A and B are shown apart, each in its own frame.
Chain A
């Protein structure tokens, strides 16, 4: 089994985030108002970083979070998660551009659950899905609107976006061996 390796360092992450924010700004066209919803836990810090950059580009940004535990499609297969983080969307999403943000897109199942979670809070004008990294291996007909990097690694490795806000020593996009449980 291979050891951990870093695909992007802090400077690379910063450039990628600039690119994601600029891409999203462009994709939103005329709209100057957007709501970001970070998917717990990996998308949380990322959504804050993106919000900061979009505000820097002159946008009005609302920031919320969603925990998808209650929307998973494998509740009948797996032992339930005993910890569920808060879902906080303390603003109206009806008629707005809402961007779901997660760190890594792989099978599409988390994205599906996150979209369902957000749609329980209202009817956005347009729902977007933005992710930092994309791995091949979709299991549902869903693709992100925007992403910074594609990472093709074997299934026994996991891709993690480490951001200092989550307690990591430095920003980095990291590939680690998957621990067998």
Chain B
């Protein structure tokens, strides 16, 4: 790693990023957060750059925070959602990518229901591509904002345990977090119904503890995943109510956690399912810090990918 640059062309996932690269991204995000907290939230860094948000799945936080991130950095942000786009008329993703590319965007932020959608776009554009969540693969900026939220409080990940609870199988958030947290030095435990735990856990370097009480007892942070009704084409759990009883955290379950353990949620919270309203709104939950950090890490990603020439080889 040279001091001068982050040399990735796209951000398609966190798998394979080094610990130095992750810290570098988080360091830049800390500086970006300072800009967000100023009275004048605007810097000219990416003036004249075009950022396209290409979202084939619903999103409030992620799309909005990429848009805020682009605009605070002075870039122009354009939002395309699948319902109002030619995708609804049957245009393929490759054609969409090629057509967008002809309009010369500098960054394309892609959310897609299929794993690998953003990688496919990346092969058909000159723009830098950022994965904003693809199928059950990765959601890198979510894991970066989670890592920043934790690093702010811990400084180091060594000796820390993060328990990720819920629908791990369908969760790109869990996968990206497993890659990031393991690389940064934390221990990761997955907890959830056996039907919602991916088969090849060992490759991710995580441990499995199906019992919620045991899984959260050792945790320095507990990350609750959203029950993803829209991704469940089959019977994975008997009912949301039973899921909540076994894997939700209310005031009673809060007693199982260490007093300093943090509670995280990527949003949107299904109140009364993963977290009871009392817990979601308690001082233990850092959900709104996660949201602020989300804008900061997306600014860092846009800055590092959109700033400068498109690759070191193209520099004079």
Interface residues of A (CB under 8 A from B): 67, 69-72, 75-88, 116, 120-122
Interface residues on B, range: 20 to 34
B46 (CB) vs chain A CBs: closest residue: A75
Pair A77/B309 contact, Cβ less than 8 Å: yes
Residues of A contacting B44 in the complex (Cβ-Cβ under 8 angstroms): 70-71, 116
Q: 8 closest A-B pairs (Cβ-Cβ)?
A: A80-B307, A84-B31, A70-B43, A79-B308, A79-B5, A70-B45, A120-B40, A82-B6
- Verify if B4 is at the interface (C-beta below 8 Å from A): yes
Pair B3/A76 contact, Cβ less than 8 Å: no
- Verify if B304 is at the interface (C-beta below 8 Å from A): yes
User: Taking each of B24, B47, B308, which has the highest tally of chain A beta carbons within 10 Å of its own beta carbon?
Assistant: B308
Partner of B42, one of A80, A120, A122: A120
* CA A75 to CA B306, docked complex, whole Å: 9
* CA A76 to CA B27, docked complex, whole Å: 22
Pair A84/B40 contact, Cβ less than 8 Å: no
Pair B31/A67 contact, Cβ less than 8 Å: yes
* CA A80 to CA B46, docked complex, whole Å: 11
Pair A71/B43 contact, Cβ less than 8 Å: yes
Which residues between 11 and 45 of chain B lie within 8 Å of chain A, taking CB atoms?
24, 27-28, 30-32, 34-35, 38-40, 42-45
- Verify if B312 is at the interface (C-beta below 8 Å from A): yes
- Verify if B48 is at the interface (C-beta below 8 Å from A): yes
**Measured between C-beta atoms, what is the minimum distance from A124 to chain B in Å?**
14
* CA A139 to CA B137, docked complex, whole Å: 49
- Verify if B303 is at the interface (C-beta below 8 Å from A): yes
Residues of B contacting A120 in the complex (Cβ-Cβ under 8 angstroms): 38, 40, 42-43
**Can you list 26 pairs linking A and B with CB atoms under 8 Å apart?**
A70-B35, A70-B45, A71-B43, A71-B44, A72-B45, A75-B47, A75-B307, A77-B309, A79-B4, A79-B307, A79-B312, A80-B6, A80-B303, A81-B4, A82-B6, A82-B24, A82-B27, A82-B304, A83-B3, A85-B31, A87-B34, A116-B44, A120-B42, A121-B38, A121-B39, A122-B39
Instruction: Report B282-316 CB contacts with A as 1/0, cut-off 8 Å.
Output: 00000000000000000000011001110010010
A122 (CB) vs chain B CBs: closest residue: B39
B41 (CB) vs chain A CBs: closest residue: A120
Pair B43/A77 contact, Cβ less than 8 Å: no
